[in-house]
Amino acid sequence: MTHDPNTLSRRSALGLLAAPAVLSAPVHSQSLRRVSFTLPWVPEGPNLIAYVARANNFWAEEGLDVEVSRGTGSTAAAQAIAAGRFDYGMAAASAGLQMAARGLPIVQVASISYDVMMALVVRADGPIRQPSDLNGKRLASVATSGDYPFLQPFAAASGIDLARVEASTVDNNVRQRVLVEGQVDAITGFATSIVPVYTSQGFNTRSFLFSAAGLSFYGNTIMTQRARLTSEPQVARGIVTGLMKAQKFMLLNPDEALRIFARQVPESALSRTAQQQARVGLGMARLAALPERVWNEPVGFSEPAEFTRMLDLTMRYLATPGDTRPALEAVVTNELLGGVTMTRAEWQRAAELASEFRPLVG
C-alpha cells in the first residue's frame, strides 16, 4: 500500500504509546547473536508480540539478542528491510508485496494478522446500519491512506453509489475528529488504528470491513531479505520461532501480555485512556489472528491462495508504472514454521478470550 495502515491515528496515539526508539538489549546478551528488527510504527497492540518475545526470553532461547526499533510506517519498514538496514521486521503484507513488485528482494516468512481491517467506520448511534445506507450521506477519507485505492471497489461491491455520496478528502490529523463532531456521517480507514482511539475515549462506532466485500489483505507479517534464508537459516528460524511463541502466548494470555507491554513501554499505561487504547488495540489484533481456516496449520502460517489473491489486488490497485508481478514463491514462504503449534482446544480458547471485541468490527 502507499500508506501504512498503522499511520492512521498516529497523532492521537503518539502521546499514549510512544516509546524509546530502540528497546535496549538485556545485560546477559553478550553471548547471543545480535539481530536488528524494525516495527512498522510505534509500540502498540498489533506489534506487541515483539516485546513479549524479548521479555519472555523466547528469542534468547533461540540464541538471539534482538534489538527492536520503532518504525515510521509499513512502507518505510518494508523498504528498510529489503535494503538490509534491518535484518528482519514487521510490516503490513501489502507493503512487502509492493516492494517485491518493484523488484526488491523481500520475502514474508510468517503471518501475524489475517485481516488488515480496512473499513467504513460510522457512529454506532447514527443512521448507517449497512454500507448502502451511506448513499445520500457525507464521507471523509484520507487520499494518501492505504485504504483509499479500495474505496471505489468496496463501494461497487456494497451497494454504495459514490455519485450520491458527499465525499471529501481530509488530512489524516482531522479525519477522526470530523466524525466525532458530526461533520460527516462516515470515514474510511483502518479499524485497528481508528477504533481503539475512539473506544478509549468513550465514542462508540460501527465498522464495515472491506474484507467482507472481498477486498482483504493480511495485516502484519514478518519479513526479511530472501538471501538470509540460505545464508543464516538458523537465525531466520530462530527469529520466527521466538515470535510465534510470543504470538501463542499473547493469544492465550492476553492480560499478561498487556502487563509485559506496560513494563516494557511504560507510556502505554500512563493513563486509563492509554491502557484502554492498548487493550482494545490488542483485542482487535487477536481477532485478526484467529480465522478458523488456519487452525490446522502451524502458528504463523501464510496461505498461498490468499497471497495469490493479494498479489492480484496489489497489481490491480496498487502497482505503479514499471512494477512487475513477482512469483508467489519469491514473496512468501512457510519453510521456517512448524516449531510452534496450537491444539484446536487452544485455538478455541483464544477465540473465546477475544470474542468480547468482535462487536467492534462486526
Residue with cell 500512563: 270
Q: Which of 213, 232, 264 is the last residue of a domain?
A: 213
For 361, the grid coordinates are 468490527
Taking only the tens place, the pLDDT of each residue in 208-253 is 999 999 999 999 999 999 999 999 999 999 999 999 999 999 999 9
Domain final residue pick, 184, 213, 242: 213
**Residues 260 and 299 both lie in one domain:** yes
**Integer CA distances (angstroms), 360 to 194, 205, 330, 354, in order:** 11, 7, 36, 11
Of 213, 240, 263, the domain-final residue: 213
- At 63-92, the pLDDT tens digits run 999 999 999 889 999 999 999 999 999 999
Same domain, 135 and 272: no
- Number of helices (H), then strands (E), belonging to the chain: the values are 14, 11
Most distant CA atoms of the chain, gap in Å: 64
Q: What is the CATH number of the domain that holds 107?
A: 3.40.190.10
- What domain count does the chain have? 2
Q: What per-residue confidence (pLDDT) applies to 35?
A: 98
Nearest to 68 by CA among 82, 83, 84, 55: 55
- Do 104 and 132 lie in one domain? The reply is no
> What is the domain range of residue 315?
5-114+218-360
Do 76 and 152 fall within a single domain? no
pTM across the whole model: 0.88
Together in a domain, 319 and 271:
yes
Residue 306: enclosing H or E segment and its boundaries?
helix 304-313
- Work out the mean pLDDT of the chain and round it to a whole number: 91
Q: Exposed e or buried b for every residue in 321-348, given b needs 16+ CB within 10 A?
A: eeeeebeeeebbbbebbbbbebeeeebe
**Beta-ladder partners of 66:** 35
Same domain, 110 and 86: yes
